[in-house]
Amino acid sequence: MSPAAPNSNGTSLHDTGWTDQRVETLVGIMLRTGVLLAAAIVLIGGVLYLGQQHNAPRPDYQHFHGEPPAYTTVSGVLRGILNFDPRAVIMLGLLVLIATPVARVGMCIVGFFFERDRMYVAVSTIVLLILLYSLFLHK
């Protein structure tokens, strides 16, 4: 029996079950899950934030006040979560939202790899490297 010959259930031994339709379905599920998870995390953080801010002074919308430096790094956000800081929870939701399309590219690389589509694996890998560079190394 040659390696590409069909086995007893009629599929090839090299058939991994990865088709364009299956990859599209998995990517769609992952994108929906990522967006819904991010929205739920931001909602929880927002409710916690509003619950803690009942005696806060009126916000000053005439002047821009950026986020404190503690919320500008992933490690700072994680430290804030450990301290039950609602703003850190909101930032975690935003990080999940940003990570969702990056994970989509990673999922596409896996799908293209199992479909044995080398050109799309190469292109998607380049796209992933550019995304990771822009997120982590570019200042």
* pLDDT tens per residue, range 90-117: 999 999 999 999 999 999 999 889 888 8
The whole-angstrom distance between residue 100's C-alpha and the CA centroid of its chain comes to 2
Reduced to 3 states (helix: H, G, I; strand: E, B; else coil), residue 45 is helix
With beta carbons less than 8 A apart as the criterion, state whether 106 and 116 touch: no
Q: How confident is the model at residue 1 (pLDDT cuts 50, 70, 90)?
A: very low
User: CA 93 to CA 36: how far, in whole Å?
Assistant: 10
Give the pTM.
0.75
Interatomic CA distance for residues 16 and 65, integer angstroms: 53
